[in-house]
Structure 1
């Protein structure tokens, strides 16, 4: 290695996914399938976000910044890539030989030269993605990889590409942002977040629990709020929790409902109990069709202005998250 005078940062950062079998407490982290290659590139810093409507958003990069969508939330098929931001140099790279299309950095103190693909310069291809509603994700990334993506004053960064040029979006170190809306074809989804913001949707229960890890006692627990069920965040960090693990929603009017989408924590093997009512007094339990991931469809449409969602299992932990996100489908 003492005589090694050049080294290349690999360009073959392929993108893979790996799916697991259904997980239980006893098999958590086991029974993974074989990696499936999605793309020959785009494998830099992948991250996945699950939206409230069941879609997956996959963000990764190099080349560029790439977004892919799995509309059924299973991650077996992906639509894309879609490129929300592209910025890389088009001049200053090698034009012939083994490293054609690569940028050759100036030799370091040992005389070694580092090479990087021109298409990997500019934006780092590392993004942040966060669900902001049941169908939308907020995406943010950079224009130049800090210290290496764009030219910079000598000493200001690590081996900056001083001779590179022709950046479509310039060489300013800054951030870009966008909001993406993912429509997975689930027709008739009621806009519960808007109803709640406009005081048209009411959570009948008025007592919301503290929950989570409470090493210093109940006062140090996270406080639950009604809005947590409609904020687009399916994590247990924002969960609607009541003492009896039951939540009743009052809609602005009666709807023909076809199903309920739930992201929730249950304290046993029995699935969520879903009951409906037209008057808030007499509740019935509609027959349900086969569950599809987070979606619990009804066997036939039901008329309801009230929807009650409960955990039918015995309560074993009063500090556990309950209803992280709810969606209603109908018209």
Structure 2
């Protein structure tokens, strides 16, 4: 069992650390007296986030990192050890959101490649670069950011009314499987290095809703787009037009989950029971009964039914 109760003086590395959940985790780690390494591909945002930590008295460094490139992640690990002498917590948090449109057979192959390279290979690269460091030290924690959208079951109808992207939930299902496998492999070695999967619950105000704004040229779209790019403002507007109140989960709450999960050595880093838990129960019942996947819901949490011919749906 891991015994990292006191985090003061420990070192945390957070990918996707320039904003959203990653930045919140970095700040929370700093409040615990940890030294923080923020990694991100967004240079200006990374500088701002690192400077903000320093202004709060946190010993922090920002390292420009492209998680799709293993050599870049490997350099991140070397920089962290060189700067602070150790790494105790690694958060594979960098991610990209939904940019594809239409049905999954209509998705741009570039969308698939981008999602897989960031959300799946990014985690694999983090595991390969950092776990040997943690094993050599004899203890540590790896936290992989997942999502109920894919980790539990894919959302069937998206925020704009048509079929939801298949890219994002597929990658998050892979993250859960990777973390379960990592947990088992670490257990087999008898190490005190631990694996955790983070499920940030609720509706989050992060840049992942508008990932298209930072799409790298190497993953440029190869198909003409037929619907407007998604924005958080349009998503919230659709919720409200459907009579659903949008209440954002504070990112600080998610960061608290991580710190509490490390101290408690919890594999599942999740909030209190929520409506989404019903999807897990219904999915298990469907599997055991060899039934239909009647647990699939739309982004509003209602049964998906037949996709409407609206934006993102049939064209």
TM-score tier by shorter-chain length is under 0.3
Higher RCO by CA contacts (8 Å cutoff, separation 6 or greater): 2
Greater helix proportion: 2
TM-score by length of 1: 0.26
Greater strand proportion: 1
TM-score by length of 2: 0.27
Is the radius of gyration larger for structure 1 or structure 2?
A: 1
